[in-house]
C-alpha cells in the first residue's frame, strides 16, 4: 500500500519509503517501471550469488578460478558495474551449487498490449 502523501496546495509529493517512491515512479512512467523491474530481478540473482559465495566461504578470487573467469569479472558482477551474460551466470551458479527456476508470469508481456 502506498504510504506517501500528496500536498495538492503546494504540488509536492512526500514519499515515506523507497517502496513508495518506486510505486510512484512506476505508475508515472511505464518505461521506467520496466527498468526498475529488470534491475530488481538482476539484483536478486546477484544477491543470491554473493550470499552463497559467502556461505561457502569462497573469496571472489577462488570463485573466479573455479569458473575460469578473471577475479575482476566476479567483482564487477557483484558490484553491479557489469551485467553478466547467461553463460557466465550459469558457470558461476554451477560452481556455487545454485540453479535457476523458470516460472511463468501471471500475464505474458505479449498479451498486455
CA angle, residues 37, 41, 45, in degrees to nearest 5: 170
Q: Which three cell numbers stand for residue 88?
A: 557466465
Mean pLDDT of 57-74: 98
Range of the domain at 36: 30-101
SS3 1: coil
Is residue 93 in a domain? yes
pLDDT tens digits, residue range 72-106?
999 999 999 999 999 999 999 999 999 988 888 77
Q: Taken in order 53, 56, 59, 60, is the CA torsion positive or negative?
A: negative
- Provide the 3-class DSSP secondary structure of residue 13: strand
Looking at per-residue confidence, does 112 or 85 come out higher? Answer: 85
* The total number of structural domains that make up the chain: 1
With respect to residue 15, please indicate whether it lies within any of the assigned structural domains.
no
Average confidence (pLDDT) over 18-43: 87
CATH of the domain at 91: 1.10.260.40
Q: Residue 8 domain-assigned?
A: no
Q: Decide: pTM greater than 0.75.
A: no
Residue 45 lies in a domain: yes
* Residue 24 located in a structural domain: no
CA–CA gap between residue 67 and residue 92 (Å, rounded)? 6
Amino acid at each position: 500500500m502506498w504510504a506517501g502523501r500528496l500536498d495538492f496546495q503546494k504540488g509536492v509529493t512526500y514519499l515515506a519509503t523507497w517502496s513508495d517512491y518506486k510505486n510512484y515512479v512506476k505508475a508515472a512512467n511505464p518505461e521506467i517501471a520496466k527498468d526498475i523491474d529488470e534491475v530488481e530481478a538482476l539484483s536478486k540473482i546477484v544477491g543470491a550469488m554473493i550470499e552463497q559465495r559467502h556461505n561457502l566461504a569462497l573469496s571472489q578470487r577462488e570463485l573466479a578460478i573455479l569458473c575460469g573467469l578473471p577475479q575482476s569479472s566476479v567483482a564487477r558482477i557483484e558490484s553491479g558495474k557489469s551485467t553478466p551474460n547467461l553463460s557466465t551466470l550459469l558457470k558461476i551458479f554451477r560452481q556455487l551449487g545454485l540453479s535457476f527456476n523458470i516460472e511463468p508470469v501471471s500475464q505474458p508481456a505479449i498479451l498486455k498490449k
